[in-house]
Amino acid sequence: MIQIVRPDARYQRSYLEALDEFDGAHRDGDGELQLAADPTTGFAGLDFTREGLEDPDTFRRLVQARRADELPETPRPAHFVPCTYLWIVEGDTYLGSIAFRHELTGFLLEQGGHIGYSIRPSARRQGHASTALRQVLELAAEMGHERVLVTCDEDNAASRATIEGVGGAYEDSRVGTRRYWVPTLVTDRPAGARLA
């Protein structure tokens, strides 16, 4: 069964295999592995490499950084917002990542949106993005959002179909980016019940 989970060190091997599949391509929803320090906010920076993440302690530090990012008090670069990073998994297999940005900056309103996601190449076209997106829409509802902005590149037909499939209403395109407002999903499950 496909589920979204908070980052966890138990997925280290599968996560690294997925990084190899991405082969340096942009991975929306997974966060950056390297970010410069920002002394104005107290952010110490990130400096992870594919090779470094082979070390279990280093990988645990990445997991801790991703989990901490959802807390408002966590230092981050000045133009970043609190973000809940989640991993899309099936059993012990990491399939991809999906992130929920808690608020919108000017840039996110124009291009990035509240939610970003990436599915590893070997797991694409199997409905995983749609499943994860629906689950994050439930999480967004729990956090008080009635609708969220989800975007995709103008030429990304697969992502466009995923967004429209969960009820995304196209607003417009800006700088080559399609912008959709998507209603969140309210359920009767207890808050956080889907997250491990």
pLDDT tens digits, one per residue of 154-184: 999 999 999 999 999 999 999 999 999 999 9
Q: What pairing do the DSSP bridges indicate for beta strands 177-183 and 115-119?
A: unpaired
Is the pLDDT at 190 greater than 70? The verdict is no
Domains of the chain and any CATH numbers? 2-183 (3.40.630.30)
Inter-helix orientation angle 157-165/128-142, to 10°:
50
| Nearest one of 124, 98, 117, 115 to 21, comparing CA atoms | 124
pLDDT tens for each residue of 26-80: 888 999 999 999 999 999 999 999 999 999 999 999 999 999 999 999 999 999 9
| pLDDT band at residue 25 under the 50/70/90 scheme | confident
For residue 193, the model assigns a pLDDT of: 46
pLDDT tens for each residue of 27-38: 889 999 999 999
Please report, to the nearest 10 degrees, the dihedral formed by the alpha carbons of residues 63, 32, 170, 186 taken in order: 10
Q: How far is CA 192 from CA 7, 131, 179, in A?
A: 15, 16, 27
Pairwise CA distance, residues 162 & 175, whole Å: 21
Counting runs of H as helices and runs of E as strands, what totals does the chain give? Answer: 5, 9
| pLDDT band at residue 188 under the 50/70/90 scheme | low
In the three-class reduction of DSSP (H, G, I as helix; E, B as strand; rest coil), residue 79 is classed as: coil
